[in-house]
Amino acid sequence: MGKLDQYGDAVRGVIRAFHGSPYDWDRVDMSMVGKGEGPLDEGFGFYASDKEGVGNWYRQHTSYLRRKILADQMRQVRDGLRAEPNDPQWHAKYRRAIGLAPDVRQQASRLQREFPRGRTYELEIGVPRDSLMEYDVPVYAQQPEVLEKMRAVDSTLVDDLIESPDADGAMFYNTLAGGTALDPPSIRGQRRASEMLFGAGIPGHAYRGNADNYVFYPGTEDSIRILRKYGIMAPIAAGAAVGEE
């Protein structure tokens, strides 16, 4: 009993975590990966943390970034129509351009409706913690079952890295994604690495900072359930099962 938290998560084999987003959604959608903060420094997938404060920080940070991007897009449309500032038809042309520009009108509405504060999501992820690859743990020290699944993806790479005490899960992942010591992997390469690992039975990886943080790979969407979401309004319940940056 001493190993259980108040929710009994250790018994149920789930991870309770938080995710901050500028968007309001009801299901995880992996097509949105990279559309929050942008860079995928720790790999391709859905990011979460066991600390609520981390989720709140990303909610605020990514909401600011999205507001700035959309405001810049609208400013470019407006400035492009101001070549003749005394044109009496300027306002009509601007409204017409906004209506024709891809997604700008919809984004302008979202800028007002969704982005002022974004959302923090409290989540239940239905995968056991020990099923994850440890991003900042040496390859040789990975959980035995996880290590075998890593071998199933690329046994030669595992054999090359397992001899080095400095070769960790991040090096395995980034090499698998086509990166080198000098060149980071592309997002396309990261996605391929995540899909390969998920195909071998590894649902994601964990990495440490000021908290336990997670990247869940494409394919885990239906394992992620929203317990609640909050931000613009007071905390509200959102009980549906999720599957989605």
CATH number, span 9-63+118-242: 3.90.228
Residue 20: Cβ within 10 Å count: 27
Cβ-contact 59, 83 below 8 angstroms? no
Q: What is the pLDDT of residues 41-97, one digit of tens each?
A: 899 999 999 999 998 888 888 777 766 766 666 666 666 666 565 666 666 766 666
Task: Write down the pLDDT at residue 237.
Answer: 35
pLDDT at 162 over 60: yes
Residue 118: phi and psi, rounded to 5, are 70, -160
Residue with tokens 């390969």: 196
pLDDT digits (tens, 9 = 90+) for 108-139: 565 555 555 688 999 999 999 999 999 999 99
Between 203 and 2, the higher pLDDT residue: 203
Tens-digit pLDDT profile for residues 132-159 = 999 999 999 999 999 999 999 999 999 9
CB neighbours of residue 139 within 10 Å: 25
CA atoms within 13 A on the CB side of 212: 13
Residue type, 84: E
Using DSSP, state whether 45 is helix, strand or coil.
Answer: coil
Q: Average pLDDT over the chain, rounded to whole?
A: 79
Residue keyed to tokens 């979460």? 48
Please give the pLDDT value at position 158.
97
What tens digit of pLDDT does each residue of 68-82 get? 766 666 666 666 666
Domain ranges of the chain: 9-63+118-242, 68-113
pTM above 0.75, yes or no: no
Q: Is residue 206's pLDDT more than 90?
A: yes
